[in-house]
Chain A
Amino acid sequence: MELVGQIDLNATPEVIWAALFDPAVLKECFPGCKSVERKSESEYAAVLQVKVGPLNAAFNGLITLTDPEQLTAVTLAGTLNGAGAGFAKGSARIMLRRSELSTELSYSADIRLGGKLAAVGDRLFGTAVKRNIADFLASFAAVVDADRKDSASCQASL
Chain B
Amino acid sequence: MTQPQVGRAVPRADARRLVAGAGCYVDDISTPGALHVAFVRSTHAHAAILSIDTAAAALMPGVVRVVCATDLEGICKPMQVAMPALQMPTASAHFPLAVDEVCWHGAPVAAIVAHSRAQAEDAAEHVLVEYDELPAVVDAEQAVRPDSPRAVRGRNSNLALDRTFGIDNGAASFAAAATVVEQRIVFDRQTGVPLESRGIIASFSPFSRELAVHMSHQSPFQMREVFSDLLSLPNHKVRVSCPDVGGAFGLKLHAYPEEITVAAIAVLLGRTIRFQADRLESFLSDTHAREAVGVARLALDSAGRFLAIDVEVLSGLGAYQAYPRGSIGEGLHMAQMVGAPYQFDHFRARMRAVHQNKSPTGAYRGVGQPLACTLTETLVDRAARTIGEDPAELRRRNYLSIERSSRTTPAGLEMSAMSLHACLDTLLAMMHYEDLRREQQRLREQRIYRGIGMASFIELTGVGSAVYGANQVAVPAQEGCSIRLEPSGTVLCHSSATDQGQGVRTGVAQIVAQTLGIDAADVTVRAGDTASSPVGGGAWASRGIAIGGQAALLAAEELRGKILELGARILKAPAEQIDIADGALRCAATARTLSFAELANIAYFRQHQLPPGSCPELSATRHYVSQGFPYLTANGMVGCLVETDIETGMIEILRLCVVHDCGRVINPLLVDEQIRGGVVQGIGGVLYEHCEYSESGQLSNGTLADYLVPMAGELPDIEVAHVASAAAQTSLGAKGVGEAGTIGGGAALWNAVNDALAALGAAMEQQPFSPDRVLRALAEGARARNPAAATAAVHIDPVDA
Contact = CB atoms under 8 A, between A and B. Distances in A.
B408 to A, nearest CB: 46
Contacts of B700: 113, 118-119, 121-122
A118 B126 contact: no
Contact of A57 (B125, B694, B699, B707): B125
B43 A124 contact: no
A121 B43 contact: no
Interface string A100-121: 0000000000001111101111
Contact of B43 (A53, A58, A87, A123): A87
Nearest to A56: B125
B791 interface: no
B41 interface: yes
B280 A54 contact: yes
A114 B694 CA distance: 10
Interface stretch (A38-46, A66-74, A78-86, A130-138): A78-86
Contacts of A58: 125
B696 A123 contact: no
B43 A120 contact: no
B703 A116 contact: no
Contact of A82 (B105, B106, B125, B284): B125
B520 interface: no
Nearest to B39: A84
A83 B706 CA distance: 24
A86 B127 CA distance: 12
B105 A115 contact: yes
A114 B43 contact: yes
A54 B278 contact: yes
Nearest to B701: A121
Contacts of B278: 54
B186 interface: no
Given A114-B696, A118-B699, A122-B700, A84 B40 contact: yes
A53 B703 contact: yes
Contacts of B125: 57-58, 82-85
Contacts of A120: 280, 702-703
Contact of A83 (B129, B696, B699): B129
A43 B386 CA distance: 65
A83 B701 contact: no
Contacts of A85: 125
B43 A116 contact: yes
A57 B123 CA distance: 11
A130 B706 CA distance: 17
B11 to A, nearest CB: 37
Given A54-B278, A87-B43, A122 B105 contact: no
B707 to A, nearest CB: 8
B693 to A, nearest CB: 9
A72 B549 CA distance: 78
Contact of B703 (A57, A83, A114, A124): A124
Q: Is the interface of B mostly helix, strand, loop or mixed?
A: loop
A79 B35 CA distance: 35
B288 to A, nearest CB: 13
Contacts of B754: none
B699 A84 contact: no
Interface string B675-714: 0000000000000000000101011111101110000000
Contacts of B129: 83-84
Nearest to B42: A115
B773 interface: no
Q: Is the interface of A mostly helix, strand, loop or mixed?
A: mixed
Contact of A121 (B127, B696, B705): B705
Contacts of B40: 84
Nearest to B707: A121
A118 B706 contact: no
A118 B703 contact: no
B119 to A, nearest CB: 14
B631 interface: no
Interface in B95-137: 105-106, 124-129
A118 B702 CA distance: 8
A130 B105 CA distance: 25
A118 B694 contact: yes
Nearest to A86: B43
B283 interface: yes
A119 B283 contact: yes
B701 to A, nearest CB: 5
B44 interface: yes
Contact of A114 (B105, B127, B284): B105
Among B40, B124, B129, B698, residue most surrounded by chain A Cβ atoms (within 10 Å): B698
A119 B106 contact: yes
B133 to A, nearest CB: 9
Nearest to A119: B702
Contacts of B43: 84, 86-87, 114-116
Given A83-B129, A84-B41, A116-B280, A121 B105 contact: no
A123 B280 contact: no
Contacts of B124: 84
A122 B280 contact: no
A119 B105 contact: yes
A87 B128 CA distance: 12
A118 B438 CA distance: 49
Contacts of B126: 83-84
Contacts of A54: 278-280, 703
Given A84-B40, A86-B43, A123-B706, A118 B105 contact: yes
A156 to B, nearest CB: 40
Nearest to A112: B696
Nearest to A54: B280
Contacts of B702: 118-121
A123 B127 contact: no
B128 A83 contact: yes
A86 B281 CA distance: 13
Contacts of B280: 54, 116, 119-120
B41 A121 contact: no
Given A84-B127, A119-B283, A114 B701 contact: no
A87 B702 CA distance: 16
Nearest to B693: A118
Nearest to A116: B280
A121 B44 contact: no
A82 B705 CA distance: 23
Interface in B24-43: 40-43
A122 B706 CA distance: 8
Contacts of A86: 43
Nearest to B703: A121
Contacts of B694: 112-113, 118
A83 B41 CA distance: 10
A57 B127 CA distance: 12
A141 B279 CA distance: 39
Given A83-B129, A85-B125, A114-B105, A123 B703 contact: yes
B45 to A, nearest CB: 8
A121 B696 CA distance: 15
Given A54-B278, A54-B280, A115 B706 contact: no
Interface of A: 53-54, 57-58, 82-87, 112-116, 118-124
20 contacts: A54-B280, A54-B703, A57-B125, A58-B125, A82-B125, A83-B126, A84-B40, A84-B43, A84-B125, A84-B129, A112-B694, A113-B698, A114-B44, A119-B280, A119-B283, A121-B705, A121-B706, A122-B700, A123-B701, A123-B703
Given A115-B43, A118-B702, 17 more contacts: A54-B279, A54-B280, A54-B703, A82-B125, A84-B43, A112-B696, A113-B694, A114-B105, A114-B698, A115-B42, A118-B694, A118-B700, A120-B702, A123-B701, A123-B703, A123-B706, A124-B706
CB-based closest 8 A-B pairs: A115-B43, A119-B702, A118-B698, A121-B706, A121-B701, A84-B124, A123-B705, A114-B43
